[in-house]
Structure 1
Amino acid sequence: MRDKNILITGGLGFIGSHIANTLLENNNIVILDNLTTGNINNLNNPDNENLKIVKEDIRNINLDDLTSDIDYVFHLAAMASVPLSIDKPVECSDINLNATIKLLESCVKNDVEKIIFSSSSSVYGPNKNMPLKESEQPMPKSPYAASKASCELYLKAFNDSYGLNYTALRYFNVFGPGQDKNSQYAAVIPNFISSILEGVQPEIYGDGEQTRDFVYVKDVVKANINAAESDYNGIVNVASGEKLSVNQLYEIIKTTLNSDLEPEYLPERQGDIKHSLADVSNMIKINCKIDSKDFESQLIETVNWFKTIL
């Protein structure tokens, strides 16, 4: 992708900043971020002349002005936490759903070529039909998951009603350099790595036999860019198509870091699902393929990044 005008909402966050860093040299980037969880230090070159950073809340800014002359929108701004959404369901709906609808309306007004929406595997909920296909009926167990599923429906409605092109990417468990270990709701991989490096007993919710489908952040970036350049309108799982239990994951990280720390097992968290595994056959529709054999080298790269900040 070259010589495009691109808006990245939530562009200072974990995934959004990786997209920005990848696209910045050859495109004009506008980042919208209210810095709730984003950090300007996630950018490789925040002073790049091709970059404009708007430090505002997506709920409050004039989105018609923001999307003027924009070719592609990568929409990642969200309350991205299941537990927080359970604590604050109205705020979750306001940020994740209502603001998205306003953004879609602005995209239509300004003839945006395509919007790439960051959805989530949480929309599948407790569905046991593994591997999970995009055609499965959503079964959200949290306000966060419900908001993402609702946004997907609005994306289709705007495509049918106004011709707005879109791809909704259902991320499974994303990991990689740049994840915030200090977040109250930090993901399992940065929690494990940072705990071991700091000599603190890691915590596992439940019995650890829950399984997840992990995907590297650089593969997620590739999926976003490929989706923007594709002519596919619809939903795509973004995952490796391989499952790993939390206990297995911990053993790999523990071995990688030559640690003998044993985890502490805590009660299951409300809203968490037991198993998650993606059917990744739809990724061919956005000309994207993920090689799950790279997992351990990607994990080592992630570990090495955490060593530089701790």
Structure 2
Amino acid sequence: MIIVTGGAGFIGANLVHALNQRGVTDILVVDHLSQAGKFLNLTDLDIADYMEAERFITLLEEGKLPAIEAIFHEGACSDTMATDGRYIMENNYAFSKTLLHWCQLRNVPFLYASSASVYGMTQQFREERACESPLNIYGFSKFQFDQYLRHVWPNLKAPVHGFRYFNVYGPRELHKGRMASVALHFYQQYRRDGYVHLFAGSDGYGDGEQRRDFIHVDDVCAVNLHFLEHPRTGIYNVGTGQAQTFNEVAVATVGAIDALAKRPARHLGALHKAQVIRYMPMPEALHGKYQSYTQADIGALRGAGFSAPFLNVEEGVSRYVRWLAEKGR
């Protein structure tokens, strides 16, 4: 059996889908369904069982679960604006340590979600301590677990892979609300209002010219499954290695919607003239806490043997918009 924690969530449900595509259905999904709408991410998937996280950890420690082949640990509170530090550290840090040690004692591969938020405002995105300075409690919880893993590194016996996800977008994120990707927000705004909202210039960048490393969730899943099949213990950036602007995401989103509607293609200048892109001031709450630039250094990922190409924004957003349209979202 394969365990996917957070399996009803965004990346977790896509991992279940990717496993299903490979013929794997002996999967236990672990999650919290206090937000009941997440069940929709599972309705087209095949799993062996579902379990709430608290019951799962109890049965795991009591040895009452079937033989486990691997654990994909995607479960976490991912709200970067959360302020309850005790909850975040218990849910994201302590829970992860429990799973790590269980896997080590039983020689079970452990693949877990870290985050690019560990880097904070740095301009260097390498998997090195000198580059890491998280800006919020969510980022700290991910950083501290990475640090803990480094501390126990010499004693590891089973494979452990930490994936520092950059800006992930794609199917099965509708439940995330304000924490969903900008691609989804732009899609919803343009279809509802006929225009999209971007932040005005900040940190020396022009309007909408802030840059992030946007990666499609299909590529994230491909990385996870690669290391399940080809273990190489380490902490790895999972991004495309190429930053692109929010303007580019907006143009790709509007262009993909227009293409489905068989409307003529428009470039950024035309969208500005038509006021399809509108800029708004950055909220005060984000001042000093907003990453205006991220770009994964994927040298370690490539060096560990993952050689597949990544979708760029134009390709990935077009794929995502088609999925949303097909689902009637």
TM-score class normalised by the smaller sequence: 0.7 to 0.9
Which residues in structure 2 correspond to 1:1-310 (within 5 Å)?
5-24=1-20, 25-36=23-34, 39-43=38-42, 45-46=44-45, 48=46, 51-57=48-54, 61-64=58-61, 65=63, 69-84=67-82, 87-109=83-105, 111-129=106-124, 132-137=125-130, 138-180=132-174, 183-199=177-193, 201-207=195-201, 208-258=208-258, 260=274, 261-268=276-283, 269-270=286-287, 271-292=289-310, 294-307=312-325, 308-310=327-329
Residues 36/78 of structure 1: CA separation in 2 closer, same or farther (3 Å cut)? farther
Distance 1:285 1:36 in 2: 40
Distance 2:176 2:140 in 1: 26
Deviates most, 25-34 or 216-225: 25-34
Contact 1:156 1:234 in 2 (8 A): no
Residues 210/66 of structure 1: CA separation in 2 closer, same or farther (3 Å cut)? farther
Distance 1:182 1:232 in 2: 31
Per-residue deviation, 1:113: 2.3
Larger Rg: 2
Distance 2:296 2:134 in 1: 16
Distance 1:302 1:280 in 2: 23
Q: Which amino acid aligns with 1:10?
A: G
Equivalent position SS for 1:127: coil
Per-residue deviation, 1:6: 0.9
Q: Which amino acid aligns with 1:51?
A: A
What are structure 2's unaligned runs of at least 5 residues? Answer: 202-207, 259-270
Residues 44/222 of structure 1: CA separation in 2 closer, same or farther (3 Å cut)? farther
Per-residue deviation, 1:181: 6.2
Distance 2:225 2:126 in 1: 22
More helix by share: 2
Per-residue deviation, 1:20: 0.9
Contact 1:59 1:95 in 2 (8 A): no
Distance 2:55 2:292 in 1: 33
Equivalent position SS for 2:179: coil
Per-residue deviation, 1:146: 0.7
Deviates most, 290-299 or 5-14: 290-299
Residues 150/182 of structure 1: CA separation in 2 closer, same or farther (3 Å cut)? closer
Equivalent position SS for 2:215: strand
Contact 2:115 2:166 in 1 (8 A): yes
CA RMSD after TM alignment: 2.5
Per-residue deviation, 1:262: 2.5
Deviates most, 132-141 or 55-64: 55-64
Q: Which amino acid aligns with 2:80?
A: V
Deviates most, 220-229 or 18-27: 18-27
What are structure 1's unaligned runs of at least 5 residues? Answer: none
Per-residue deviation, 1:142: 0.8
Distance 1:66 1:206 in 2: 54
Deviations 1:44-86 (CA, angstroms, capped at 9, x unpaired): 644x4x52111344796443247652121100000112112xx
Distance 2:56 2:69 in 1: 21
Count of residue pairs brought into register by the alignment: 299
Residues 203/300 of structure 1: CA separation in 2 closer, same or farther (3 Å cut)? same
Distance 1:274 1:227 in 2: 30
- TM-score, length-scaled by structure 2: 0.82
Distance 2:129 2:143 in 1: 12
